[in-house]
Amino acid sequence: MFLLAHTGRPAAIRSAERVVTGLLRHRIGVRVLAEEAADLPLPDAVERVASRQSAAEGCELLVVLGGDGTLLRGADFARTSGVPMLGVNLGRVGFLAEAERDDLDKVVDRVVTRSYEVEERMTLDVLVRNNGSIVHTDWALNEASVEKAARERMLEVVTEVDGRPVSRFGGDGVVCATPTGSTAYAFSAGGPVVWPEVEALLMVPISAHALFAKPLVTSPKSVLAVEVQPKTPHGVLWCDGRRSVELPAGARVEVRRGAVPVRLARLHHASFTDRLVAKFALPVAGWRGAPH
């Protein structure tokens, strides 16, 4: 089992020690990143490995302890290795997480007994063209966002779907998201919540100055594109809010369904509706349900 933790949080350090102790007690091997091992009180039986994308290869499960940022970091390892990721939320919302910090004993028990299911989540493949040449490639689980680099200046863009222009506008940028990412940045930008089992791509303008700049939901086979206009200040491409690259004026960002999904381990059979209500603390008092 591969363990990834936000070692900057005391709660994550305590949680990691608890999980490792429980797994070793059941003779399940544990692997951690060498760079994190120095911050964790771990016995010698724990395997230390270098921080590389293939660090989780050969493991049965990737357990991540932390908030959304740590979970997205874990997704890098999960996607490369094909190992299912089980997230334990130590942050605030944690939509990618399957358990909370009070569930650590249950997490250990489910790992030991292999009592979990695995589902696949759509990803995005992202490429940047400049002067017709591909200058950068990346991927995202939640979203790829084209954003302005200077706060005082709008970013002028033209959006495109399947090779046809949709709208030109100035604003703070555009978010291209998966259904998984519909509850992240795209949600904050005013996009719709999309159930994870729905196969679709989202394009959501950010603070656009335009008559038509509405969120779009397209086919999963669509290719979304955002062109930074030639006479506008340069922009920035962010993938999952973790990796960024500068976009010069005239750059073109293309987003399509990713070739490699991320696999998530699930402990509960709760519907996404219940998860949505719980994570956002939505008011449902007065609901009576369908008549029987």
Please report, in range form, the residues annotated as the binding site for NAD(+): 68-69, 73, 142-143, 153, 172, 183-188
- 68 as an active site residue: the answer is yes
In degrees and rounded to multiples of 5, residue 239 shows phi and psi of -110, 115
* Residues whose CB is less than 8 angstroms from the CB of residue 48 and which lie 6 or more positions away in sequence, other chains included: 31, 32, 33, 34, 37
Dihedral sign, Cα of residue 263, residue 269, residue 273, residue 278? negative
Beta strand ranges found along the chain (DSSP E) = 2-5, 31-33, 47-49, 62-66, 85-89, 99-100, 117-121, 124-130, 133-140, 143-148, 155-161, 164-171, 173-177, 201-206, 216-218, 223-228, 235-239, 243-247, 252-257, 262-266
Numbered residues of the known binding site: 68-69, 73, 142-143, 153, 172, 183-188
Tokens of 188: 């904050």
From the candidates 68, 76, 138, 240, give the one annotated as an active-site residue.
68
Q: Shortest CA distance to 122 belongs to which of 224, 237, 264?
A: 264
CA–CA distance, 201 with 178 (Å, rounded to integer): 5
Question: How many CB atoms within 10 Å of residue 193?
Answer: 12
Cα atoms in the Cβ-side hemisphere of radius 13 Å centred on 54: 1
**Secondary structure of residue 133 in the 3-state scheme:** strand
Residues that are catalytic: 68
